[in-house]
């Protein structure tokens, strides 16, 4: 094997490593985020807890520029993003003709391709297209909310509002809580990026490695996120909270114990990398207690935080019995007025577009001294040719 970078231990690939989904295989370097098993996610070296009070634009700038903006840079960047947010009327007209039975993520996948067909740069400029995509995804996602749920016609973006305020006003959610706009800001910041090997991010980068434009690459990434083993966990978490249906710790303990002993999984608890409570979960629990403490779903979610880990430690084999980012997010969104869990993965996608876009830009324009990462081509070994196996 070629010499590995000094921070990567060389290892021999054996039969046991095959057909394991590339789990744990180092395949590249990353400039946007990191996930430490004990301290959780950080963006460009900043722990997520240090960023959660920022406007979304500052965090987007950080992922793309690898530093936080000065006040002057922030004003210019905010104005630039706002100017990019307008979506072709052709896109909105086609959305109105999509089958209402489709999942919101299916609408998003179609919508991203439409954004590409109506607005991509002729030169396939990844950086320019990425910034357009980040801005226009807010307009697209808000339109999907409104059209699919019958809330009314799409609402045009405004240039006098911040990123999250503009998204909230384009949603125009009936009966929304006054805290919804700020909750969407927090949700966006917590979900933007999560290393480079998660399924949706890796899929988007792999498609872009064939020089597909960023819109097609992002549609592929969102198709990966759509899967129930990836992005739909927040939806399942809310359903579990409703199933448990109590803020009383003793009642919850009995119900969770019965559920686990019966072979049931507890969505929102455990993580493939983390070995401590997800800092993003901590942030959401604190936010929920402060702004939605009397809401029954939030009460239940907060109580589960205390009840579930001891039960999982004793009655399951999980290495991480602690809450992750999905444990409370659905309960908070429901308390704020977005009560349809079918749309929660759509919000996940809305947030993650900026992180995946920044990673695609890095892989296409920055890595290998600007030559970019080659087209992805892992090797598969034919089972009927064992003599070739090494």
- Active site positions, annotated: 230, 271, 326
Which secondary structure element, helix H or strand E, spans residue 321, and what is its range? none
Asked whether 28 and 19 are in contact (CB, 8 A), the reply is no
How far is it, in rounded angstroms, from Cα 367 to Cα 382? 32
Q: Rounded to whole angstroms, how far apart are CA atoms 202 and 335?
A: 33
Residues with Cβ within 8 Å of residue 190, at least 6 apart in sequence: 48, 52, 280, 283, 284, 325, 329, 351
φ, ψ at 151 (rounded to 5°) = -80, -10
Handedness of CA 122, 58, 350, 233 (dihedral sign): positive
Tokens 């921070």 belong to which residue?
7
Work out the angle at residue 338's Cα, subtended by the Cα atoms of residues 335 and 342, and round it to the nearest 5 degrees.
Answer: 120
For residues 32 and 362, the answer to whether their CB atoms sit within 8 Å is yes
In order of 38, 124, 137, 212, 220, the CA distances from 120 in angstroms are: 40, 7, 13, 12, 16
DSSP-derived secondary structure letter, 364: H
DSSP 33-67: EEEETTTEEEETTEEGGGTTTS-HHHHHHHHHHSS
Burial of 195 (0-12, 13-18, 19+ CB in 10 A): middle
End-to-end, the C-alpha distance of the chain in Å comes to 12
DSSP letter string, 148-184: HHT--SPPPP-SSS-HHHHHHHHH--TT--TTHHHHH
């Amino acid at each position: 094997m070629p010499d590995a970078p000094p921070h990567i231990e060389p290892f021999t690939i054996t039969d046991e490593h095959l057909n394991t989904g590339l789990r744990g295989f180092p395949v590249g370097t990353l400039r946007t985020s990191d996930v430490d098993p004990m301290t959780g996610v950080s963006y460009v070296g900043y722990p997520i807890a240090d960023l959660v009070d920022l406007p979304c634009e500052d965090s987007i700038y950080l992922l793309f520029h690898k530093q936080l903006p000065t006040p002057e840079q922030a004003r210019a960047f905010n104005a630039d993003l706002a100017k990019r947010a307008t979506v072709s009327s052709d896109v909105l007209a086609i959305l109105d003709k999509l089958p209402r039975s489709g999942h919101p993520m299916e609408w998003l996948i179609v919508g991203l391709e439409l954004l590409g067909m109506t607005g991509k740069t002729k030169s396939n400029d990844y950086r320019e297209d990425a910034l357009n995509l980040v801005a226009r995804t807010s307009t697209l996602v808000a339109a999907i909310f409104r059209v699919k749920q019958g809330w009314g016609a799409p609402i045009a973006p405004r240039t006098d509002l911040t990123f999250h305020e503009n998204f909230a006003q384009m949603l125009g959610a009936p009966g929304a809580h006054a805290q919804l706009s700020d909750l969407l800001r927090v949700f966006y910041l917590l979900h933007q990026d999560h290393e480079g090997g998660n399924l949706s991010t890796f899929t988007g980068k792999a498609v872009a490695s064939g020089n597909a434009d960023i819109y097609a690459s992002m549609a592929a990434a969102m198709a990966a996120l759509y899967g129930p083993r990836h992005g739909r966990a927040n939806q399942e978490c809310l359903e579990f909270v409703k199933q448990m249906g109590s803020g009383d710790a003793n009642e919850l303990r009995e119900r969770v114990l019965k559920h686990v002993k019966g072979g049931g999984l507890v969505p929102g608890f455990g993580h493939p990398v983390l070995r401590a409570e997800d800092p993003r979960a901590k942030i959401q629990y604190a936010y929920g207690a402060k702004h939605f403490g009397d809401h029954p779903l939030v009460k239940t979610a907060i109580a589960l935080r205390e009840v579930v880990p001891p039960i999982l430690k004793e009655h399951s084999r999980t290495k991480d019995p602690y809450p992750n980012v999905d444990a409370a997010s659905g309960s908070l969104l429901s308390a704020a007025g977005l009560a349809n869990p079918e749309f929660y993965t759509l919000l996940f996608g809305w947030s993650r577009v900026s992180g995946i876009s920044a990673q695609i830009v890095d892989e296409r324009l920055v890595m290998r001294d600007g030559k970019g990462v080659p087209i992805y081509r892992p090797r598969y070994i034919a089972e009927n040719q064992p003599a070739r196996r090494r």
